[in-house]
Amino acid sequence: MTMHYGVVVIGGGQAGLSISYCLQRQGIDHMVFEQHQIAHSWRTKRWDSFCLVTPNWQCQLPGFSYPDNDPEGFMGRDAIVEYIERYASHFNPPIKTGVKVERVKGREGNGFEVVTSQSTFTADQVVVATGGYHTPKIPRLAERLDSNIVQLHSAEYRNPESLPEGAVLVVGTGQSGCQIAEDLHLAGRKVHLCVGGAPRSPRRYRGKDVVEWLDQMGYYDLAIDDHPQKETVRHKTNHYVTGRGGGREIDLRHFALQGMALHGRLTDIQGTQLTFSDDLKQNLDQADAVAESIKRTIDGYIAKNKINAPVDHPYHPVWEPEAVPPTLDYRDANITSVIWCIGYGLNFSWVELPVFDGQGYPGHRRGVTTVPGLYFLGLPWLYTWGSARFSGIARDAEYLAEQVVTRAQGSQPRIPQTVNEVAMGS
């Protein structure tokens, strides 16, 4: 006989565990399926020196706030895994690990069929909690590099010692790219960094961590519908900053003064020649402009509320790029490794239900789709900035649990008034 659950939750990371906690509190029959083990991505897709970029006090899983004595610190990879494990132990969720969900499709009448690597199950409702970082992006351009060049995605990088001797080309300056470049740089490796258009953030400003200011200003409670950029913010690159060494900002200009080679975007590879776009200065200036805009917003809040706060010195760039040739011979530069830090793509191909737009993104309203009983959780900006983070997952999980309970009790949840459909028809 096919086993039936009231709710199937897919994914055993912080999102899946959070909705499990909320459902358990409501007495809702459910099962969590996790392909690997709890906190798998944190264990296996982060480098050794990885740490959070937001303070520990923002770790607010439902029913389990940050439990230790360093709220202003930034947990490293192993501590993050331990935090999630402790959370699971805290309420003992119903979870089957080592079970891959291969297909989710609708059943005749209502409900869902969930095909897994072990068996087929049925469910009245399904919560997809696999996050939004599925398929590592490596461009076809990478195929032009010589076969003796070691190529890794940021998810595969572990430490400088794991790479062959020689210089390293890091492509991409989102959070991963900048932090990996710093990791290599601090280890004494020669780094060539391709700088893209990612913005940067100050770490501390006027006596506080910037995260504390933004939290005080209500930024993390801002719903996506109220954000100036609306749905497009979901696809924006995160600001680069780091929690390493107690937390500091990353100004790539300082790295350049210390010997890191900065380039514009990588545009072509012909033989051993790398070609870069002439946009390095533009990208550095743009990142600085975003950081200064954040400071001005904080200044306005301080002035409006008549807060007594110290005044910081104005920012001045410590380095400016000079005109350099747009090409580099990677063999002459002794580049032996390339790390691609250009993000991930979505892969919901296994969800065989008509809820996706032209980019493969699920249409939803706060995680509620137009297919009754199907929900998504843990996506960036599902509802607020913190939706894919420890800081905001509780709000989303609690909201979706309410929708699940309402349907389970035989009532009809409120149908979303609008469906967020990004790049529809593209």
Q: How far apart (Å, rounded) are the C-alpha atoms in residues 403 and 225? A: 20
Q: Are strands 101-106 and 351-352 parallel, antiparallel or unpaired?
A: parallel
Write the single-letter amino acid at 302: I
Q: Do the beta carbons of residue 47 and residue 159 sit within 8 Å?
A: yes
Region 12-21: mean pLDDT is: 97
What percent of the chain clears pLDDT 70, i.e. is strictly above it? 96
Rounded to 5 degrees, φ, ψ at 232 are -65, -20
Give me 322's structure tokens.
């000079």
The alpha-carbon radius of gyration of the chain (Å, integer) is 23
Res 90: pLDDT: 96
Mean pLDDT of 148-161: 98
Q: Per this entry, what is the length of the chain?
A: 426
Percent of the chain with pLDDT over 90: 90
- Distance between CA 315 and CA 289 in Å, rounded? 10
What is the structure's pLDDT at 422? Answer: 32
What digits encode the pLDDT tens for the residues 319-368?
999 887 799 999 999 999 999 999 999 999 999 999 999 999 999 999 99
Which 3-state string (H, E, C) describes 28-68?
CCEEEEECCCCCHHHHHCCCCCCECCCCHHHCEECCEECCC
Output the pLDDT for position 281: 97
Look-up of token digits 């533009």: 282
Half-sphere exposure of residue 322, counting CA atoms within 13 Å on the CB side? Answer: 4
Average pLDDT, stretch 395-403?
98
Task: Specify the higher pLDDT residue, 271 or 231.
Answer: 271
Domains assigned to the chain:
3-134+346-408 (3.50.50.60), 137-340 (3.50.50.60)
Name the burial class of residue 278, with classes exposed (0-12), middle (13-18) and buried (19+) by CB atoms within 10 angstroms of its CB.
middle
Instruction: Please name the residue that has the structure tokens 């659950």.
Output: 5
| Residue 318 CB neighbours (<10 A) | 10
How deeply is 35 buried, as exposed, middle or buried, from its count of CB atoms within 10 A (0-12, 13-18, 19+)?
Answer: middle
Q: Cα dist. 174→195, 252, 384 in Å?
A: 9, 12, 20
* pLDDT computed for residue 109 by the predictor: 79
For the stretch 25-67, pLDDT in tens is 999 999 999 999 999 999 999 999 999 999 999 999 999 999 9
Tokens matching residue 357: 């737009």
For 308-328, write each residue's pLDDT tens digit.
999 999 999 999 998 877 999
Q: Between vectors from CA 375 to CA 369 and to CA 376, what angle results, nearest 5°?
A: 105
Res 413 pLDDT > 60: no
Average pLDDT on 388-409 reads 96
Q: What pLDDT, on a 0 to 100 scale, did the predictor assign at position 1?
A: 65
pTM (predicted TM-score): 0.93
Record the tokens describing residue 211, joined without a space: 């995260």
Q: What is the mean pLDDT of the chain?
A: 94
Q: Could you tell me if 53 and 59 are in contact, meaning their C-beta atoms sit under 8 angstroms apart?
A: no
36, 6, 31: which is closest to 17 by C-alpha? 31
Decide the pairing of beta strands 351-352 and 112-116: unpaired
* Six-digit token string for 175: 């959070």
The sign of the CA dihedral 65, 67, 70, 75 is negative
Amino acid at 119: S
Q: Which residue has the higher pLDDT, 89 or 420?
A: 89
- Residue 108's pLDDT is 84
Q: Which residues contact 230 (CB under 8 A, 6 or more apart)?
A: 224
Are 169 and 338 in contact by the 8 Å Cβ rule? The answer is yes
pLDDT of residue 426 exceeding 70: no
Is the pLDDT confidence value at 229 over 90?
Answer: no
Instruction: From 259, 264, 263, 256, select the one nearest 318 (Cα to Cα).
Output: 256
What is the separation of C-alpha 28 from the centre of its chain, rounded to a whole number of angstroms? 29
Q: With cut-offs at 50, 70 and 90, classify the pLDDT of residue 412.
A: low
Q: 3-state DSSP call for residue 289?
A: helix
Is the model more confident about 150 or about 108? Answer: 150
Residue 421 pLDDT level (bands cut at 50, 70, 90): very low
The confidence score (pLDDT) of residue 150 equals 98
- Helix 14-25 × helix 77-91 angle, to 10°: 20
